[in-house]
């Protein structure tokens, strides 16, 4: 039976800690993984940099080209697609840089049905509904909670900023091999 699988990019297919060195450089801070306890950069780096966060996708677009897939992501996503599942990439990245996001995904050799750049996290439940999502692979705590409350199955990629998240429809994993075991 074909399923509709929605997958986030940053922190899910890529390392949840990829942005730390860049944000440290931009903010003059020296935070490590253990300090990254909130996905909200205002909490982690301080509200004095709030304009940088708002403009990040537009001004620092080049950083996205340097991001790498985490181990197993390509293989599991492609196996899902190859078995006939519809694979939807649903990212909070700005729609203004959708061309960069789409080209980056293509360069990674990821097979997918469609990509949606929704310019923020507020629309993930609406996208899950629109796409008749059977499972959403995500790292963002608020997205996981909202998807769970809306009745969607969530596979939550473990990160320091989402360790306190639980829900009836949430299954925590620490690798794409665990995703494979759940979905393939």
**What residues are annotated to the active site?**
8, 10
172's tokens: 């925590």
Q: Give CA–CA dist 108/5, Å, rounded.
A: 18
CB 131 within 8 A of CB 153: no
Alpha carbon 55 to chain centroid, angstroms: 19
Q: Give CA–CA dist 28/22, Å, rounded.
A: 10
Mapping DSSP to helix (H, G, I), strand (E, B) and coil, where does residue 53 land? helix
3-state helix, strand, coil in the chain (%, to 5): 45, 15, 40
Instruction: Outline where DSSP puts E strands in the chain.
Output: 4-7, 86-91, 114-117, 135-138, 154-157, 170-173
Residue in the structure block whose two tokens are 């990629």? 157
């Amino acid at each position: 039976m074909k399923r509709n699988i929605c997958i986030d990019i940053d922190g899910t297919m890529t390392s949840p800690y990829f942005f730390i060195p860049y944000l440290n450089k931009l903010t003059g801070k020296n935070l490590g993984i253990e300090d990254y306890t909130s996905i909200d950069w205002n909490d982690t780096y301080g509200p004095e940099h709030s304009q940088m966060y708002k403009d990040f996708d537009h001004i620092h677009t080049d950083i996205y080209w340097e991001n790498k897939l985490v181990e197993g992501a390509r293989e599991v996503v492609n196996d899902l697609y190859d078995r006939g599942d519809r694979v939807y990439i649903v990212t909070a990245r700005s729609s203004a840089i959708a061309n960069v996001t789409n080209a980056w995904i293509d360069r990674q050799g990821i097979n997918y049905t469609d990509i949606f750049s929704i310019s923020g996290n507020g629309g993930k439940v609406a996208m899950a509904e629109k796409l008749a999502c059977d499972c959403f692979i995500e790292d963002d705590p608020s997205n996981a909670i909202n998807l769970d409350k809306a009745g969607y199955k969530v596979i939550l990629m473990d990160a320091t900023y989402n360790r306190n998240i639980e829900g009836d429809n949430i299954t925590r994993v620490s690798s794409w091999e665990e995703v494979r075991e759940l979905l393939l």
